[in-house]
Structure 1
Amino acid sequence: MVLALFSLSDVALAVAALALSATLGLLLGRLEYKGVGLGIGGVLFAGIVVGDLSARLGLDYNIEMLDFVREFGLILFVFTIGIQVGPGFFASLRRSGMQLNLAAAAVVLLGVAVTLTVHWVFAVPVPALVGLMSGAVTNTPGLGAATQTLADLGASQADVSQPSLGYAMTYPFGIAGILLSMMLVRQLAQVDVAAEAAAWDAQRRRGPSALPSLDVVIRNENFDGLTLGEVPGLFDQGVVASRMKSAGDLIVPRRDSRVRVGDVLHLVGPAERLHAMQLVLGTESEVALSTKGTQLSWTRMVVTDKHVCGRKLRSLGLTEEFGVTVSRILRAGTELPAEAEATLEFGDIVTVVGPKEALEQIRGVLGDQKQRLDQVDFPAVFIGIALGVLLGSLPVPIPGLPVPLKLGLAGGPLVAAILLGRLGRWGPFMWVMPPAVNHALREFGIVLFLAVVGLKSGDRFLDTLLHGDGLLWVGYGMLITLAPLLIVGLLARLVFGFNYLTLCGVLAGSMTDPPALAFANAQADSPAASIAYAAVYPLVMGLRIFAPQLIVLLLFVPA
C-alpha cells in the first residue's frame, strides 16, 4: 500500500490526500458532546494528522498545486458568503439592528485590542498571532485572509504556515469559550430565561416585522368625488389600498377610482401610517372587507421572471393593465410596503389581489416558477469571481503602511459578492443563489482550504504543541476568546438592558459560530437568538476577515 502511494502522480497523490483529510475531518466534525463539536474545523485537524503521517512516510506534495487548491477553495468560500449576506448587509445597518451591530462590532474590536496586547506583552510573532486570533474566535475566513496576505507580502513558507498552527491550538477552546461566556452572563446577571422569552415575544408583537391592515370607512366629505390618486399619502407613501367596497361591490382600487362618503378601503402598510391615514379619511370599519364570495381573490406569487427583477412596481402597470394590485412584498422574512417605487427582487413573495382570471395572467408576468429558486446562474458566479479577484488585486496606498493595501483573494471576492448580491441582477447575470446550493459550494470551498492548510502544517503541529509555544498559545487564545465576550456581554445586559436571548444571538454572531447559536436556541423556544445572529452576521463576517489582514500589514516585516 505504501509503495503504491509513492508510484502515484503528483495530481493523484494530492487528490488522495485531500479526499482522505476531508472524509476523516467531516466525520470527526460530526462527533458532538451535548450539541458541541468541531464542525467543519474537524477537517483542519484531520489534515494535520494526514500531513504528519505523510512527513513520517516521506511523501512530498506539489506545493504549487496545493496552493492553487487552497486559494480556489478560499475564493469559493468567501464569494458564497458574500452572495448570502449581500442582500441584507446594508439593511442590517439601517434598521433596529444598529444597536445589535454596535455590540457585535465591539466584541470584534476588543478582540483585536486583546490580540495586539498579547503581541506587545508576550512578543508573539505576527504570523502566529493572526492564527491565534482567528482560532480563538472560530473564524476560518479570517485565517484564510491572514494566510493570503502573508503570501502576498513575500513571507517565507514557514511564516505562511504559522497561522494555521495558531488556529489549531486555539480553535477548540474558541468553541467552548463562547458557550461558557453565555452561561457566565446568565449566572452573573441572574437571568430568568422563560421571562426573557416572554418579554421578547411581547416586544416582537409590538414591532414592525409584519405589515398590519385596516379597513377604513370614508367619512371626510372633502374626498367625496375625488380620485384615490388625489388622497395624500396613499399608494406612494407606504400605504396601499388593496380592495375597495363601493356601492355594494368589492373592486380593485385604482388611482383613477372615484370615492364617495361611505366607501370602505382595505389598507395595508406600517401601523403608524395606517393610523395617520385613518385620521384623514374617516373611521375604522366594524366589518372586515373579505374577498370570500366575491369576484375578487388574492394569492401569493414568487418573483422569478428575470425581466421583472430590478423593475419598479409602477413600471409594471399591473393595476392599469390587469386590474390587480400588489398589497405586500415579503423579502427574506420581512414584509415591505408595496409602494409604487418599490423594486422587485428575485425570490420576493408578493401578495396580489384581483379577479381570478387576472391573477392567472399576472402569474405569467411575475414568473411564479418555484423550481427556479433551485437553479444557479453559473455564468454570473464565474464573472463575479473574476471581478472579485480583480478587485482584490487593486493596490490602495494608505499612509503609514509599508505596502499598498489590497483586499486580496479573501477580501476582493467577498466585497464583490456583497455588492453583486445586493444588486441582484444586471443584464443577463443573476446573482441569486438558492440556500442549499450556496451552502454546498461554501462547504466544498472551506473543506478544500482547511484540508490543504492541515496537510501543509501537519509536520510541525506536534512539535509546536509539545516542545514549542503551543500551550502558551492556548492560554493566549483563551484570553482573546473570553475577555471581549464577557466585557460586552455584561455591559450590554446590565447597563444597556439587552434581552438575554437577543444578547446570546449577538455573542454567537460576533464569533460567527453556528454551534453557539444552536446552544442559544436550546435555552428557550424562541427565535430571538436566531434573529439577532442574522442581524449581526454580515457586518461581523466582514470585520473578522479584514482585521487579520490589517494586523499583518501593520505589524509584519518579512525576513
Structure 2
Amino acid sequence: MLGQLLTGFNPIVQALLALCLAATLGLALGNLKIKGVGLGIGGVLFAGIFLGSLGMRGNHEVMDFLKEFGLILFVYTIGVQVGPGFFSSLRKAGIALNGWAALIVVLGVLTALGVHWLADIPVPVVLGLFSGAVTNTPSLAAGQQMLGQIGVTGEDLTLPGMGYAVAYPFGIAGILISMAVVKLVFRANPEAEAEAFEQARRSKTARIDTLNVRLTNPNLDGLRLSDMPGVEQLGVVVSRVLRQGTEGHVEIPHPDTLLHTGDVVLVVGTPEKLRAARLILGEEAADADLKAMDEDVRWERMVVTNSHVLGKSVGELDLLTRYDIVISRLVRSGIELVPGPHLHLQFGDILTVIGSPPNIRHVTSVLGNSEKLLQQAQIMPIFIGIALGVLLGSIPLAIPGMPAALKLGLAGGPLLAALILSRVGHLGPLVWFMPPSANHVLREIGIVLFLAVVGLNSGEHFVEVLVHGEGLHWMMWAALITLLPLLVVGLCARLFGKQNYLTICGLLAGSMTDPPALAFANAVAPSEAPSLAYATVYPLVMCLRIIAPQVMVLILMGSL
C-alpha cells in the first residue's frame, strides 16, 4: 500500500521519500534505550526492513547509487577521523591491545567460516551474520560491495542485510554478556581495578612539566645556552632566564645567551628528563617561580591554522630569532610533545608560546590561530580525497593463493586514502583536516543512506525468513560468532596478558566498534581505562572489519 502511494512520483522523488521516511523512523527507533542500551544507528536498518515489508520501494538504479555514495561518505569520514591516531596507536603500549583486538577479528572470521562449512549457510548470509554479530555496519557494506564486484545480483544481494538484521540484536547483548563473564570468572572488583589503573598510569605517563633550576655547576659558568650540556641531548626546552641579582626581570633566552652560576632557568620537559637536566645544571630553585615573576613575559596557547607554515619544522619557523618567542609545548591529537627543532607542524597543532604581549601578537598572524578555520571544512580536499579513494579501490591486487584479484573497492579504497591523507595532513594549501562537527554530519548522512537502502531492499522477504524460514537458525549461529571471539580473548587477556579488567571492557567494546558498549563499560567504574582502550584499538579494528569480509568472499568464492 505504501509502495503504491509513491507510484505517481518520478524515480528520484520515490527514492528520496522512501529514504527520508526510513531515516526518520529509524533514528527515532534508535534513540529508544533500555538501561542505556539501544539500537543506535542500526534502527535505520530495521525501519527500512519494516517499510520494505509493507511494499515501499524506490527506483533500483537511484537506490543503488545512493547506497554506494552513502558508503563512500561513511568510510571516508571514518578514515579522516581515525587517521591521525591510526599509526601512533600501533606503537608502544598500543601494540598489546591492538594485538588482542586483531585476534578478536581473526577469530570472528574463522568462526564465521566454520559456520558456513558446518551449517551450510549461504555465503551472503554468513557475511551478514558476521557483520551483525559484531554490530559493524562498514563490514556489511564492504561485504555487499565485494559480492557485487564478483557478479552476485538480484535477491542474493539482499541476503547480507537480512543476516545482519537477524544477528544485530544479540551482537549488542553479547558484548555485555562477555564483560559480565570475565568479571565473574576472575571476581574482578571494578573500583579496585580503577584505582590500580590510575596508579599504573601515573607511574608511566610522560607528561610535560616545568622546573625552576638554579645553575650551580661551575663548569657551566659563561657558556652559551646552545653549548649547555644536557639541554639539546635530553630534548628539554629552556623557556625563561632570571639573572642573579636582578629583581624579578625574566628574559627570553636565545641560543647565544650567556649563562652564569646563580642564574635561574625554567626548563620544560618530561619529569624524567627534568630530573636528569637538574643533575647536570644545578639544584631546584624552590624560592623562584619564573612563570609568575615577570608581567612582561606571558604565555599563550595558539592553534596552527595558517597554511603557509604547515609542514615547516619548529627550527625552520625560528620564532625565537624572528620574534623573541619560545615554543615550550605542542599538543597534537590530545598528546603533549616537546617541540624539538625537527618537529613539523600540522593543521590543528596547539602551541604554547612564551614572550612579551606585542611579540605574541605578531606570532598570532604567523601561526593563524583562527577559531573560524578550525570550524570550517575545506570542501575541495574532500572531493579530491574521495576521487583518489575510488581510483585506489578500483586497482586490482593480485595476491598469491587467492582465486581472483583483490580490489579494495568502494569501502576499502576511500578508507585507505583518507587514512593516508589525514596522516599527511596537507598538500600545499589543501588541508585534510575536517572539523569534528562536519565529520560527524557527513558520516551520519552516509551511514543512514546506506542502511536505509539495505533495509528497504531486504524488507520484502525478511519476515518470511525470520518466522517461517531459517531466521532463528541463523540467529543461533550469529550468537556463536559474537561470543566465542570475545570470551576467548577477554579471558586470555586477563589470564595471560594481565590486563586490567576495565581495560579489557574497553578492548571488547572497541573490537566491536560499539559506542553503547563503551557507555556501559564507562558506567562500571569511574575510570578512563575503558575509553582509552577503546580509542587505542578502534582505528585498527575499523580497518580490519572492512577488509575481513572482502577476504572472506575471496576465500569462499567457490561456494557462491
TM-score, L = length of structure 1: 0.97
2:187 alignment partner, SS class: coil
Aligned to 1:272: 272
In structure 2, the residue matched to 1:289 is 289
- Partner residue of 2:250? 250
Q: Could you give the per-residue CA deviations for residues 190-214 of structure 1, whole angstroms, max 9, x where no partner exists?
A: 1111111111122222233521222
Distance (whole Å) between structure 1 residues aligned to residue 174 and residue 206 of structure 2: 33
Deviation at 1:117, TM superposition (A): 1.4
Q: Percent identity at matched positions?
A: 52
In structure 1, distance between residues paired with 2:183 and 2:288: 46
For residues 363-374 of structure 1, the aligned pairs below 5 Å read 363-374=364-375
Name the CA shift for 1:239/1:94 in 2 (closer, same or farther; >3 Å). same
Q: How does 1:80-91 map to 2 (within 5 A)?
A: 80-91=77-88
- SS of structure 1 residue aligned to 2:536: helix
Partner of 1:213: 210
Residue equivalent to 1:222: 219
Question: Residue type of the partner of 1:340?
Answer: P
Change (3 A) 1:391 1:236: farther
Task: Tell me what 2:46 maps to.
Answer: 45
Instruction: Give runs of aligned pairs for residues 394-413 of structure 1, distance below 5 A.
Output: 394-413=395-414
Q: Is the 8 A contact 1:346 1:432 kept in 2?
A: yes
SS of the residue 2:291 aligns to: coil
Cα displacement (A) at 1:158? 2.1
3-state DSSP class of the match of 2:240?
strand
Letter of the 1:267 partner, please give it.
V
Q: Once the 2 structures are TM-superposed, how far is the Cα of residue 129 of structure 1 from its aligned partner?
A: 0.8
Q: Does 1:171 align with 2:144?
A: no
Distance 1:510 1:188 in 2: 21
Q: Secondary structure at the match of 1:46?
A: helix
2:508 corresponds to which residue?
A: 507
Q: How does 1:146-185 map to 2 (within 5 A)?
A: 146-185=143-182
Deviation of 1:218 (Å): 1.8
Displacement of 1:297 after TM fit? 1.0
Unaligned runs of 5+ in 2: none
Separation in structure 1 between the aligned mates of residue 206 and residue 459 of structure 2, nearest angstrom: 49
Task: Tell whether the 8 Å contact from 2:300 to 2:354 is kept in structure 1 after alignment.
Answer: yes
Q: 2:104 aligns with which of 107, 110, 114?
A: 107
- Cα distance in 1 between the residues matched to 2:376 and 2:76: 17
Which residue in 1 is equivalent to 2:482?
481
Deviations 1:374-418 (Å, cap 9, x if unpaired)? 100000000000000000000111122222111000000000000
Output the CA distance in 1 between the equivalents of 2:140 and 2:314: 44
Q: Which residue of 2 aligns with 1:347?
A: 348
Q: Secondary structure at the match of 2:308?
A: coil
Selected match of 2:113 from 102, 116, 128: 116
Q: Deviation at 1:104?
A: 1.1
Q: Deviations over 1:302-321 (max 9, x none)?
A: 11111122211111110001
Q: Which amino acid aligns with 2:475?
A: V
Task: Say which SS state the counterpart of residue 474 (structure 2) adopts.
Answer: helix
Deviations 1:18-74 (A, max 9, x none): 1100000000000100000000000000001111111xxxx6532111110000000
Equivalent residues, number:
555
- Which 10-residue stretch deviates more, 196-205 or 444-453? 196-205
Q: Deviations over 1:494-524 (max 9, x none)?
A: 2222111111111100000000000011112
Q: Distance in 2 between matches of 1:419 and 1:15?
A: 33
Amino acid in the other structure paired with 1:475 = M
CA distance in 2, matches of 1:393, 1:378: 23
Distance 1:176 1:64, change over 3 A: same
Change in CA separation of 1:450 and 1:398 when aligned onto 2, cut-off 3 Å:
same
Question: Hey, what does 2:544 align to over in structure 1?
Answer: 543
Provide the residue aligned with 1:376 in structure 2. Answer: 377
Instruction: Name the SS of the counterpart of 2:121 in structure 1.
Output: coil
Tell whether 2:521 aligns with 1:520.
yes
Are the aligned partners of 2:242 and 2:251 in contact in 1 as well (CA < 8 Å)?
A: yes
Q: Distance in 2 between matches of 1:4 and 1:130?
A: 34
Contact 1:236 1:341 in 2 (8 A): no
In structure 1, stretches of 5+ residues that fail to align are none
Range with greater deviation from structure 2 (115-124 or 31-40): 115-124
Work out whether 1:552 is the aligned partner of 2:553: yes
**C-alpha displacement at 1:558, in angstroms?**
7.7
CA distance in 2, matches of 1:485, 1:207: 28
Q: Distance between the aligned counterparts of 2:370 and 2:516, measured in 1?
A: 34
Shift of 1:233: 4.3
Alignment partners' CA distance in 1, 2:559 and 2:48: 27
Q: 2:60 aligns with which of 63, 76, 80?
A: 63
Alpha-carbon distance between aligned partners in 2 of 1:236 and 1:254, rounded to the nearest angstrom: 17
Residue type of the alignment partner of 2:292? K
1:343-400 deviations in whole A, cap 9, x for unaligned? 1211111111111211111111111111221100000000000000000000111122
